[in-house]
Structure 1
Amino acid sequence: MRLIEHPRARTWFLVLSLLVLFGGDAWRYSVGWVVWGVVAAAIVAASVLILIQSRHRWSIGGLPYPFVVFMVLATVSLAWSQYPAASALGLVTTWMTVLGALTLAISFSWAELLNGLARVVRILIAASLVFELVVATIVRGPILPWTAQPAVAVPGYDTVPKMLYWSRNELFETFDDGRIQGIVGNANHLGFLALLGLIAFSIQWATGAAGKRWSIIWITLAALTLFFTRSATVTVALVAVAVTIVGLLLVRSRRTERARRVTAIGVVAAAAVAGGTAFVLRDTIFGLLGKSGDLTGRAEIWQIVIGLAEQRPVFGWGWISFWMPWVEPFKDRVIRNGVVQVQAHDAWLDVWLQLGLVGVFVFAAFVLSTLLRAWFAATDQPQTHSREREPYSALSLLPIALMVALVVQSIPESRLLGEYGLALLVIIAVKTKRPDWMVRSS
């Protein structure tokens, strides 16, 4: 008997896996790293068992080559790592994420993943809004995580750095530069969850997986959550996703293959011009969103990271995923507002730092190939076995919408290299490459 053969077991496994991936900080802030680690380890153990049980349905040779090469490069970087113990720990967490994501990719259909994602985002958004409301009306002050966290605070500060608070009690200040952080403890993270909610809830509505009334309610709550986070970077990602979806709908509206191809080229060209224009006018755009052109101090962080990367430019310092603030060269290296940073705030700079230019090339191939397959999955009209054309499904927009959101987020954040970012990337890469691997429940 397979571990997740029963429908209820499948649902629980999917939801719990996604809750650990997307709500990691909520777990760690509330019940601690040990409990979170035990739950994550149990899920990975179950994932390995499922992969073994399903070994006749998938193979390492069938995985996307850039993905395999990237994982091999990250693993062998242990040989030249300047912090081998930290690299080993980083590799353990990375492999745990990858094994869990691979299991989800071969065990669940896109429809199941959509419903699971929507359910988890609903839980996290609802919990975040209730959490912030309780803090604002009952606690009436900022609160710290309930459990001990790694040493990221710089000694010598008279007050607790603002970035270390679980909630800053700013729900009623959102119209005056306040930002909510929700149960995940980070405004940008919560904003990205809200963006995923807008994507998932809209596609559920379009496919009929959710009713109109509840879809409108949850879309409204997701939009309000995004507004309350005041995340400029997620707002830019939202615009990018919206433009992509509009462009894809335009392509899909064309009747002939040639017309779709020409329209697709035009859409991509227009997007490139728009992206270039946005980059040139970034100071103005972010100014309108209430942010500085350097993305609130990120430019300074990037300069420090570039300086480190230039010391070992070809193969990097060694894989570590998110930085460990007690390890050199990260210890007290990048400090912002009294807090030691645990990422470069740019996935591409982080890859250069850790795996060098070789790693950047491999990772770019991994991301770009996945992005292209997601695009073609959305633009290629489905056919029956007799080669008759079938109507497009709104569900086929899910992979490309998620990929665009992830790629845009990879510029101001490094979350693409761990937890939910890496997991989504692996799921999309595998499912768009080998949709035939899906292991059915019956």
Structure 2
Amino acid sequence: MAVHSKHPVSAPPAPPLRETTGHLLMRAWCIFVLFLALSGTAWVHAFGNVVAGAVAIAGGIVTVVLWFVVRPPVQWRRLPWFVVGYLGWATASILWSAWPATTALTLLLLWITTIQALFIASALTWRELVAAAASALKWVMALSIAFELWVSTFIGAPILPGFVVGKADDAIEYWSRDNLFDGGRLQGIMGNANLLGPVALLAIIVFSIRLVAGAPRRIPLAIWIGLSAYLFYRASSATAYLAAVAVLVVLGTVLLMRTATRPGARTKYYVIYAAIGVGGGLTLWLLRDEIFTALGRSADLTGREAIWADVLGRATERPFAGWGYATPWAPWDPAFDGWITDHGQTVMQAHSMWIDTFMQLGIIGLVLLGLVYLAFVWRSWFFAVDRPRWDLRADRPYSPLTLLPTLFGAIVLVQGFAESNPLMLWGWAFLVMLGAKIKQSPHIGVGPAEQSAAIERGEPTKQGA
């Protein structure tokens, strides 16, 4: 006679797994921190230097408190030590700084940005990190187009920082130039087309990676890519256009590298990659007049060569240790006020992260920064081209998420030639965050730094899953 068992084989029904409220709040904070870094000067234009500084400092304090509360797993031996070395040398420069007040203030911002980047890298998994970056970029893109639409529709005239409608002495002073409907360059919430262009390019990359990785809501993602591409085009930043070319070259090379099936098969691709890089650089230099004229820029990169000459002149007076950290230059400091002007405005950077670092931190700082980027490029490259492997199995599929660090590296290396922005805000934040994440979690979904967040969400975990 059949007997019904009281112990069925299948598991009893249970509600779907949900993230804890604490983890959701922590992830929301990470999105806000990334938005702060990506939106950059928008806070200064909207609320002024004091409020923007207070928000940055308060954000740093909250992140430090969260670090002690959440206690994410950190392998201290695998910190990005070249970043630590650069940070230490920049901090030490206050001892001989020619502008100690500016050094102290900008060092505080550097420390805050670095701590926040390390926290995000430690607290989020790779998938959560990319999703958080995508969410922050959506806010930047949406607010940029909404801001330009509001100015052109309801104001109908250029506006100055502080939402002031008035006449500026030079167009460079405007927060928005009311160009949405007349075909001119858009500046977004950052108030600068050269800041909007690279961020829009990063948004295209992040949204595309999410789309290829099979993220939900694919149609909205495609719309976000289209909006970012539109803002990228309307920003009309020559540096961003060149960065886009570099991104395409790097992406094509990585995909070719992934097709290699035997040892030595990548050699020919490295040769082609090097030839394209060297040839492209020589072409850009020899035909710079024609190229920059076609992009609507002067051959001297819109006056940058004159700025570089002035900065290099000061840098050679203290070539080894530099004049003291100052990123960005404080326009109210007597050392910078009126030193170099552009359209009547005091310039706040050297428009080259390498020349800027040489002037501030000397040859020693320049070497340390070079080591930071060399280590990042090296790790991010092999993170993208090597098949994930931590045991005998050698056929695991590549993850689209591994493309983000090396493509981001292409953007900041090109941007850093003609801008100092990679030394601050989102450029520095993403460099530290992605570099630290690669060291802490060299395989997506594997290791304590990846597993802990899954446990926090209540998900079953398995090493190597």
TM-score where L is the length of structure 2:
0.87
Give the equivalent residue in structure 2 for 1:94: 110
Structure 1 residue matching 2:191: 3-state secondary structure: coil
Cα contact 2:257–2:385 (8 A) shared by 1: yes
Q: Shift in Å at residue 202 of structure 1?
A: 0.8
What RMSD in Å do the two structures reach over aligned CA positions?
2.0
Cα contact 2:194–2:237 (8 A) shared by 1: yes
Give the equivalent residue in structure 1 for 2:11: none
- Residue 270 of structure 1 aligns with an amino acid whose one-letter code is I
Give the equivalent residue in structure 1 for 2:449: 438
Cα contact 1:28–1:147 (8 A) shared by 2: no
- How far, CA to CA, are the matches of 2:56 and 2:21 in structure 1? 21
Q: Shift in Å at residue 160 of structure 1?
A: 2.5
Give the equivalent residue in structure 2 for 1:273: 279
- Greater mean deviation of Cα atoms: 371-380 or 211-220: 211-220
| Deviation string, structure 1 residues 217-276 (Cα, Å, up to 9, x no partner) | 121111111111111110110111011101110111122232134423432343233223
Cα contact 1:324–1:342 (8 A) shared by 2: yes
Unaligned runs of 5+ in 1: 149-157
Give the equivalent residue in structure 2 for 1:127: 143
Q: Shift in Å at residue 411 of structure 1?
A: 1.0
Structure 2 residue 384 is the aligned partner of structure 1 residue 375: no
Cα contact 1:173–1:179 (8 A) shared by 2: no
Cα 1:323–1:266, aligned 2, differ >3 Å: closer, same or farther?
same
Structure 1 residue matching 2:297: 3-state secondary structure: coil
- How far, CA to CA, are the matches of 2:308 and 2:90 in structure 1? 22
| Deviation string, structure 1 residues 14-50 (Cα, Å, up to 9, x no partner) | 1110111111322222233343333322321232234
Cα contact 2:168–2:174 (8 A) shared by 1: no
- Greater mean deviation of Cα atoms: 306-315 or 204-213: 204-213
Give the equivalent residue in structure 1 for 2:429: 423
- How far, CA to CA, are the matches of 1:420 and 1:76 in structure 2? 24
Give the equivalent residue in structure 1 for 2:209: 203
- Greater mean deviation of Cα atoms: 263-272 or 7-16: 263-272
**1:315 pairs with one of 293, 318, 321:** 321
Matches within 5 A, 1:10-409: 10-53=26-69, 57-58=73-74, 60-146=76-162, 159-174=168-183, 178-383=184-389, 385-409=391-415
Give the equivalent residue in structure 1 for 2:8: none
Structure 2 residue matching 1:259: 3-state secondary structure: coil
Unaligned runs of 5+ in 2: 1-19, 442-446, 457-465
Aligned residue pairs total 427
Computing the radius of gyration over CA atoms, which structure comes out larger, 1 or 2? 2
Structure 1 residue matching 2:175: 3-state secondary structure: coil
Q: Identity, % of aligned pairs?
A: 37
TM-score where L is the length of structure 1:
0.91
- How far, CA to CA, are the matches of 2:222 and 2:320 in structure 1? 50
- How far, CA to CA, are the matches of 2:260 and 2:217 in structure 1? 29
Q: Shift in Å at residue 130 of structure 1?
A: 1.7
Cα contact 1:181–1:229 (8 A) shared by 2: yes
Cα contact 1:106–1:437 (8 A) shared by 2: no
